[in-house]
Structure formats: structure tokens, C-alpha cells
Amino acid sequence: MNTITKEISQAIARLREAAPLVHNITNYVTVNDCANALLAIGASPIMADDPAESGDITAISSALVLNIGTLNRHTIDSMIAAGKRANECGVPVVFDPVGAGASRLRNDTVKEILELVKIAVLRGNISEVSFVAGLDATTKGVDASAADGRRDAVSVAGLVAEKLGCTVAITGAVDVISDGKRVVKIHNGHPMLSKVTGTGCMTTALVGAYAGANRDAFVAAAAGVASMGIAGEIAYKKAGQVGTGSFHIAILDELSQLDFAVMEARLKLDEA
């Protein structure tokens, strides 16, 4: 077992021991799934999206997750207030720029958050991360476009990592994690994950859980992405043939069963 595989596998033990409180200002379509995914992996979720308390809740949390899936001015103000407080308190911020490039509001919000908040991890698909990189991106709503999918994800991730001074996780058929110096490609997962609403949001929440219990943002990002991929693989074998509803629930079941041994045995990655 190579060093990075061992570090990623050990991260879940630290997470379950620490049981970090993870503050999520997230997509209301998937908020329940994110909360259940966090509970399953061993973290404690809290969702506080009023500007009057978002900063206070962040101050007592181990990590902050910002997800712009369902935007409005109210939540934008909350995200900025929480993000600034997180930076003041040394709380890692995980940012998911859902649908970046699809509308002026999303584009302006992404730019505003990245200007005002120092993030530890950016997690998105290739179209969203390409937009952050300043490249021409052709998003398909909240999904990556086929045109953007032909880009070199390693190069895009590295570009954004250096630009923002953070770890970048680009998820897709092959996931790419980069902090500008280290790069891994993760080959876990199953195509059926794309048929369940919220698996991307859940992945971002999982990254937040790992970031709240592990100081290395690169390891946290890789562990969160790998956890969803591995859970999806096992869930498909157990329930995928029944249908997407059963598969959905099975993902949560498998996240709750993940441990060092499962991660070590099933993690498939390449160091680039």
C-alpha cells in the first residue's frame, strides 16, 4: 500500500473519532441527503442559513460547506458572513460552485465568494471548475457539458489550485484531486451515481466532514470523493438492480459501514 492510499484510508478513522460538527449552507433540494450522508460517515451536521446566526454557528463548527445549488440573496449573505467568520476562526471552508457559468447570478456569486472568502477545497465538475479557472465553460444546467469533458482535468485542477491556493477536486468518470503540487486520480464509483439527485452535494458534504477532522485538505478531499465512489460501487452491487430509489438508500447504508479496511481494500487511485 502506497503512502497516499494509507493516508486516505486512515482519514476515516480520524473522522469517526473526532465526530466533527459540519455547518452546511447548501442546496435545499439535497439538504436532507447531505445531513444523512454526514451522519452516516460519522460527522454531525448543522444547517443554519440565516445571516443572523450563520457566523456564530460557523465559529463552533469544525468545517463549513458552502453550496450554491439553490441561490437567493438571503443565502448568499449567509454564505459570505459564515465564510468570513470561518476564516477568522481557522475553520476550513469547502466550496461547491454548482452550475457556475449557467447564469449571471451564479457567476457573480462565485466571484464574490472567492474574493471575500479563503477556501480550503473547491469541489465541482469539469465545467464548474473550468469557469472558476477563467476558461470558456459551457455548462449544461448543473451538469458538466460534453465539450468541457474533453478538457484535461489535471491541468484545469492544477490551474485553479495555484490560482486560489487551495485543493481542487474535479469529480467525473475519473476524479482528479490536486493542490497544485500533488495530484491523484480516483477510479472508484459507478455511472448510476449520476441518476440520483444529490450525490455531488453529498460528496462535497463528505469532503467537509473529512476536512473537519484532518488537517491536510488534499487528503480530506481525496477521502471524501473516494468515500462516495466506494459506497456507490458497493451500493450498486447490493441494490442497483432494484432501481434508483433502492440504490439511493443503499449509498447511505454503505457510507455508514465504511472503515479503514474497506477503504484500503477498495480504493483505486493513480498518483499523477
Distance CA 75, CA 81 (A): 10
Task: Place 1 in a pLDDT band, splitting at 50, 70 and 90.
Answer: low
Q: What is the pLDDT of residue 150?
A: 59
Residue 1 annotated as binding site: no
123 is in an annotated binding site: yes
Measure the CA–CA gap between 140 and 189, rounded to whole angstroms.
22
**Cell numbers 490560482 label which residue?**
163
pLDDT value of position 135 = 87
14 is in an annotated binding site: no
- What's the pLDDT score for residue 138? 59
Position of cell 459507478?
190
Query: Does 101 belong to an annotated binding site?
Result: no
Q: Which residues pair with 42 in a beta bridge?
A: none
Q: Identify the helix (H) or strand (E) that includes residue 197.
A: none
Higher model confidence: residue 272 or residue 60?
Answer: 60
Mean pLDDT, rounded, for 228-255: 97
Question: pLDDT tier at 77 (50, 70, 90 boundaries)?
Answer: very high
List pLDDT tens digits, range 129-159.
Answer: 999 999 865 565 554 445 545 579 999 999 9
* Cβ–Cβ < 8 Å for 197, 247: no
Side chain identity at 17, as an amino acid letter?
E
Residue 88 has pLDDT above 60, yes or no: yes
In the chain, the percentage of residues whose pLDDT exceeds 70 is 94
C-alpha distances in angstroms, 227 versus 4, 121, 149, 180?
15, 16, 23, 22
Q: How many CA atoms lie within 13 A of 24 on its CB side?
A: 33
- Rounded to whole angstroms, the Cα distance separating 176 from 53 reads 35
pLDDT beyond 60 at 40: yes
- The confidence score (pLDDT) of residue 2 equals 77
Given a contact cutoff of 8 angstroms between Cβ atoms, the answer to whether 108 and 151 are in contact is no
- 183-237 pLDDT, tens digit per residue, is 999 999 999 999 999 999 999 999 999 999 999 999 999 999 999 999 999 999 9
Homologous superfamily of 3-271 in CATH?
Ribokinase (3.40.1190.20)
Buried/exposed 13-37: b ≥16 CB within 10 Å, e otherwise? ebbbebbbbbbbbbbeebbebbbbb
What is the Cα–Cα distance from 103 to 90, expressed in whole angstroms?
31
